Chain A
């Protein structure tokens, strides 16, 4: 009799817990892979394809599946560091050279209005129409350089974003090394 009661209690417990787990699985279901979203949040969203994938999301998926984390030049060394922190992997040097942030500029005197760059721009930052001059909306340009190769007259060039009062940053405080130290050493 005791053994039956024990079995019944255990079975009841199993049913209750099973129901709770089943309910939780439906109620708190996570759509998509949260890791990919976290990786994608670190990537700079330039959609430039320099990593060899057609956009930041495919690269995020590739990283989640074990690809290297150092293929994103716009993210820079800092981006690699943050990816390494997130994924618990080792920091690797960037496999390309890091460039300052830049935007594309169309030489409007040379532009023939072929619309090829408009089709190439991943973020719709170029406005213009066939046989009309094109121009780049500077605020939207991510500096991905994808508009450079299709241009038949090479009227697009990249320009680094300079420092101005609005985007100027306070520098990291550094200890000044006194000039008097150098002659002492020489002597």
Chain B
């Protein structure tokens, strides 16, 4: 291909070990005894289970509903019965549990009703929505929901669409076999991405150790009359890293803390394109994927495997040698030993390697760093791993961030070349997760602080309100007292009959001046403060009475004349028996405000 290729700095050439698993065509893995489908299989929100134990499900039926936009739906991989929705161990280095739907297959593998979609007639939004509902995620390993990457930027024109078929990690051949056997569907899938993003150029990057795949893809592109360019890139790990492949194909270097879309480049894996085409052209959600089973096995091969198949059962198909002592998910550079043989295959599982001490000899003990700089020469991101190592080791996380630890893609080149066999990537992962944990703690403590300060503010405000209220009440009381005193003085000066001066009954400061005209109810006058006290008591009694009356049953309307008469009779009897006081003619004067 006459195309100017670029280079990225660093990289290593580990033994590829790919030839073992490409001799046989893709085989369909048989139905396992049971399927454990984790709900959280993509970046973003955790899908919510929509089935429960005992439900019958069909192949392709929705079992986990996408939670938010960056989240993808999860579907039943075969027909059968849901045994439970429970916590199960995950294919994750922690060996911790997460929510899974466990399905017992009924053996019929019966599809739910599905059919092709005419995507040319659909709006781009509908296509993206459909891809989300079909659970299409990036199958290169990052499992980012694909629909989230298919919105073209309004400001930056889309220059290149890069399709990643490099598959640079040793042992893994699932993308190779996919391109060899299903090139046409891959190219049609790329066509969907092209139609949504409208790039100027579409570049398909394939490492030059896969000539058959490149030839198949070229033939498919030609047969379909597309203008995609199939480019063979030099075999160099990690050429399949998104930023590295973009660099090799376009010469654009994606800066730290920026995305490739900021430069007008978007990148997808070939397997993602294939599943997108299946979702659109056949209406099939992602319920299976290709997995390379290799390593210490008798018959390494690629299998089409249902999501949720226990890894132990899948490995048995390739007849592992008896000294196999573990399963690596992913490749030897970036993969990890799974915590249990029963962990399920998920959308991120591209390869299982049977582990033994012959293929992966135990690492010799870590020696001190001799500052040779080999790691910095090997780093494809031009970082300084030795500096990051010292600061991670000393737990000086601020400094690791100054050395851009978050640009590290954990490809393992530095650990691979280190003559002191220092597990550099492990130090970086440790530092990264510590920094994230601190970030979370900081956010939580900031939130606690604002909430505490708000509570204090609220309490202060309530206290101030209460004090203000009390002050107002005291002022009103004082005014009342003064008015009463004045009234009393006026009365004593106006009427010489001082000993029968009226004590105001229920009154307020506003109608206090009229107290002189009120009926005298009190006997001989005591000290003025006694008067006030009694007045308060009477006021309280009047209030209580008013409340009692207000609380009386309100079912006395709409009564028949007989009922009214009966009620009146009863009332009369009660009055005559002195059970209650007779109804007052005028309503009792109520206090203006309760104290």
Contacts and interface: CB of A to CB of B under 8 A. Distances in A.
A163 B94 CA distance: 9
Contacts of A122: 451-452, 455
A70 interface: no
Contacts of A170: 93, 426, 429-430, 432-433
A31 to B, nearest CB: 16
Contacts of B90: 165
Interface stretch (A6-14, A15-23, A39-47, A106-114): A39-47
A165 B451 contact: no
Q: Is the interface of A mostly helix, strand, loop or mixed?
A: loop
Interface string A166-181: 0111111101000000
A175 B448 contact: no
Interface in B393-439: 423, 426-427, 429-430, 432-434, 436-437
B94 A123 contact: no
Given A45-B446, A124-B451, A173 B433 contact: no
A175 B365 contact: yes
B96 interface: yes
A82 B426 CA distance: 25
Nearest to A55: B452
B348 to A, nearest CB: 13
Chain A: number of interface residues, binned into ranges? 20 to 34
Given A140-B447, A165-B92, A47 B452 contact: yes
Contacts of A173: 366, 423, 426-427, 430
A65 interface: no
Contacts of A56: 449, 452
A97 B426 CA distance: 31
Nearest to A56: B449
Nearest to A172: B430
A45 B446 CA distance: 7
Interface in B425-477: 426-427, 429-430, 432-434, 436-437, 440-441, 444-449, 451-452, 454-456
A142 interface: yes
A155 B436 CA distance: 34
Most buried by A among B365, B366, B436, B445: B445
A125 B430 CA distance: 32
Contacts of A43: 445
Interface of A: 40, 43-47, 55-56, 122-125, 140, 142, 163-165, 167-173, 175
CB-CB nearest 5 A-B residue pairs = A45-B445, A170-B429, A169-B433, A123-B451, A173-B426
